[in-house]
Structure 1
């Protein structure tokens, strides 16, 4: 007889829902197929479980990005926070007070001008005594005063310049007069140019609305193309003062910097700003790079720079950085929304941030000494370090990576504690960008580099003059007049304080 291999029964998988008796009765060939199919099912289950974990993480990341885009982009200030912070605000109990002014609150009415500053006084006197009807005369030393402010009708002033050519009686030569330097080469004078710059750059009116307003208010008829040409006149008139303002910013001890998206010629660009206490400059560039940061901050800046954690600022020493605590608070709120260990760490960090802001507001109000503030912060700093370590060790991968990054730049969180004049947030730069963001939404950016130069220069003029409480229209008029007369435009720099006697 031939020796044949004995086919042994297959071992039943423990998870297979078949009894041992039924398995023994199952043909060996069928057992082999069942075991093979069961192994494939187990492998597929493992793949599905892994994909489920990956998809859950991806969904959480997409939800986080969606929440940031809907409520926390550059168009919204950091103070709006996340959905978690908004829910906390909604849960706050109502004060029970009705809207508006409260009983006993001192109102704020319009202050009356002195009599010598009004354009006219109309005395209103009673004619007869209300009791005996006899005629009255004299003056009230303290009459009731009521002032009415009115804008008189304004029509544009048109001046015609006539250039004469005369013939000499002696030699019969024709001689044409030369245009004086004070005569504008444009059809529209410095005041109209300034109005166009103001309405477009400071009030974000469209070109059609500018044409309509100038026609209705002043009787000036302009074509749409004239608006763009006048904008370029204004941009040229303020170019030198804006460049001077940029140099001034380089020399300041504290600068806040930020950037937001822009559109130029239908392509991607970036609107940058650098903010100091009295001067703010803007720049529109095609790149979001360290090269632009160097341009705005200065090649060898020694300033303390307030910013977010964007990588282009990493070239700065940590001792020269102040990372924005408003951005950090939003990051901690992201932790809290993820659940698990990240939520535990996030909620604790949110509490630390709130406590820090409470102390800082007291320092700013003068109710807490800076020396005491430093003592309080030293303890808070160690507790925050511990929570970041916990997040790096025990939280999910995304939270752990963020905590590791924060631990690496942790000294830059506290620069404002040791240096006066440095703010803990980058809110000043965020607020400065807000006007540009709204402008981008209505104009969809700029169509050319020349348009971008007008935008960045007008934003610089607008924000800087408002920081110094100076009149934007008056400045633009003076700058455009100086351009006509080929003189230097007025400076945007703050005037030095006069010495006290």
Structure 2
């Protein structure tokens, strides 16, 4: 039916119907727009959450790469982050994952403290019963208890040395009398100097707390700067012994070397360690190159260097032993990331265990040489494997690059297959690095490397660090009186 055939009433009715439909559509459109706005708002919130989660994922991945890469030792992986406080690290060492408690395992014999003879005996008696007041005739036994106590804090001893001056009538030389207990500089004696250095590098105290400790225990007033100067005097006094340690290491047949970062006035520097069975030397340098071992050990060093894969070592010497602990960690990491790495990691582990087992017997030089040739062929067969690009290919490249240095320990009985000794020697400097943050200048570097070297070496040799510090400071005072001592060079 056309519009011409409709009455006015019918046309009006249809218009009304159309208007209702338009109103319905407009309402639906408004609802749709509101839904779209809500969805847009929800999407915006979700995008912000995704962005935050993406940043968090990047942080966690970076931390994972840093602390679970094959070059990170297990002890550092447990600690979590660089910023973890030392106290937390110490607490982590006591945690047990087997549900037990810290301490000696069941079945192990207990270890008791050694008892000492008493300096004094005190008779502790009662005259009467504390319950009813009945008088006691005599005791029926004795229940001894040893109590060890330290003396009350002792005040400092203050001595004035009236040093008389003389002039020779014959040659005109002016002389000031000396005394073995009177230092040539400063107002603090040998014990203060030794305790300052030990408090800083053994007890890890800031200099202001060292000053507080002297005041609390002895009533001795000195500033943090005075504690620093006392520690510097200890370092200057021990520098001759530091150089003697360097000469002993230069003559060694085997030296473990490693390095780690440290800040010098906020800039990147490195603390190197050179360790033997009886000596440990630290050297703080701004270089991480081969010039440092060449300087410390001498360019004509003829011993064997045990090290990791850092390029400075083959640039310094061809007589190396590469660390198996490092390569096994890298192999394990590659096996976890790439399936082709599993048989390589298994083969390396089996080879290392087999070599260790065979070397436990007393092999002749000829037998060692033959074992070395067989082991080299095993490594060469691993290198020849065809693998796709990735962590395993990188691993095989490292094995090939150090092929001449993986098996030195097989031919030389005195050489260790791992560089654990050097890594252990770096633990104390790493803890101190977290505490002090940065060394301020050349003087700080000088003190740091000197005191650390002396303390580590004395401990290796079973000597008492406090007594040794007193010895070197006293000896230095006697030497300085015998002849003039030039200013200490602190460029290193």
Q: TM-score, normalised by structure 1?
A: 0.68
Count of residues in Structure 1 that have an aligned counterpart in Structure 2: 391
Matched-pair contact (CA < 8 Å) for 2:279–2:457: yes
Q: CA deviation digits over 1:173-216, x for unaligned, max 9?
A: xxx99342532121111110111111112222111221111211
CA distance in 1, matches of 2:406, 2:233: 44
Query: Are 2:311 and 1:311 aligned?
Result: yes
**Secondary structure of the equivalent of 2:261?**
strand
How does 1:107-122 map onto structure 2 within 5 Å?
Answer: 107-113=110-116, 115=117, 118-122=118-122
Corresponding position: 1:180 with 2:178: yes
Equivalent in the alignment of 2:271: 271
Match of 2:253 in 1: 253
Matches within 5 A, 1:85-484: 100-113=103-116, 115=117, 118-122=118-122, 146-153=145-152, 154-162=154-162, 178-182=176-180, 183-184=182-183, 185-315=185-315, 318=318, 320-339=319-338, 343-345=339-341, 347-355=342-350, 358=353, 368-371=360-363, 381-390=376-385, 393-396=386-389, 399-484=392-477
Structure 1 pair 124–224 and aligned structure 2 pair: CA distance change class (3 A): closer
Unaligned runs of 5+ in 2: 1-57, 79-96, 129-134, 167-173, 483-492
SS at match of 1:188: coil
Deviation readout 1:397-454 (Å, 9 max, x if unpaired): 5542442232132131111122112111111111111111111111112101011000
Q: Do the aligned partners of residues 65 and 453 (structure 1) sit closer, same or farther apart at CA in structure 2, a change above 3 Å counting?
A: same
The 8 Å contact of residues 207 and 224 in structure 2, kept in 1 or not, is answered as yes
Task: Check the 8 A contact 2:455/2:465 in 1, yes or no.
Answer: yes
Seen in structure 2, the aligned counterparts of structure 1 residues 255 and 180 have a Cα distance that, compared at 3 Å, is same
The alignment partner of 2:340 has SS state of helix
CA change 1:156–1:406 in 2 (3 A) is same
**For 1:445-475, what per-residue CA distance to the aligned partner results, in whole angstroms no more than 9, with x for missing partners?**
2101011000000110111011011111111
CA distance in 2, matches of 1:152, 1:124: 21
Task: Give the aligned partner of residue 66 of structure 2.
Answer: 69
Residues in 2 aligned to 1:355 and 1:295: alpha-carbon distance in whole angstroms: 39
Distance change (3 Å), C-alpha of 1:97 and 1:477? closer
**Mapped partners of 1:125, 1:349: distance in 2:** 76
Change in 2 beyond 3 A, CA 1:223/1:62? closer
Contact 2:340 2:387 in 1 (8 A): no
SS of 1:394's equivalent in the other structure is: coil
Q: CA–CA distance in 1 between the matches of 2:315 and 2:399?
A: 16
- Structure 1's 62 and 256: CA in aligned 2 closer, same or farther, altered over 3 A? farther
Residues 247-273 of structure 1: CA deviation (Å, up to 9, x unaligned): 110101110001111111222111001
Residue 371 of structure 1 aligns to a residue whose secondary structure is coil
Shift of the 240–218 alpha-carbon distance from structure 1 to 2, 3 Å rule, reads: same
Taking the aligned partners of 2:400 and 2:469, their CA distance within structure 1 comes to: 48
Change (3 A) 1:100 1:477: closer
User: What TM-score do you get using the length of structure 2 for normalisation?
Assistant: 0.69
CA distance in 2, matches of 1:223, 1:435: 26
**2:404 is paired with a residue of what secondary structure?**
helix
Q: Secondary structure at the match of 2:382?
A: helix
Give distance in 1, aligned partners of 2:121 and 2:383.
Answer: 70
Measure the CA separation in 2 of the matches of 1:144 and 1:362: 55
CA contact (8 A) 1:352 1:384 kept: no
Q: Could you say which structure has the greater relative contact order, defined with CA pairs below 8 angstroms and 6 or more residues apart?
A: 1
Aligned to 2:83: none
1:308-356 Cα deviation digits (max 9, x unpaired): 11111113554x21101111122112312332xxx322x2343344445
Closer/same/farther in 2, CA of residues 377 and 96 from structure 1, 3 Å limit:
farther
Return the alpha-carbon distance in structure 2 between the equivalents of residues 312 and 109 of structure 1: 48
Aligned Cα RMSD in Å? 3.9
Give the Cα–Cα distance (whole angstroms) in 1 for the partners of residues 244 and 330 of structure 2: 37
How far the C-alpha of 1:137 sits from its partner, in A, is 9.3
Alpha-carbon spacing, 1:109–1:261, altered in 2? closer, same or farther (3 Å): same
1:400 and 1:104, CA in 2 relative to 1: closer, same or farther beyond 3 A?
closer
- Deviation, 1:284, is 0.5
**Structure 1: runs of 5 or more not aligned:** 1-60, 83-93, 167-175, 490-501
1:435–1:148 Cα change, 3 Å? same
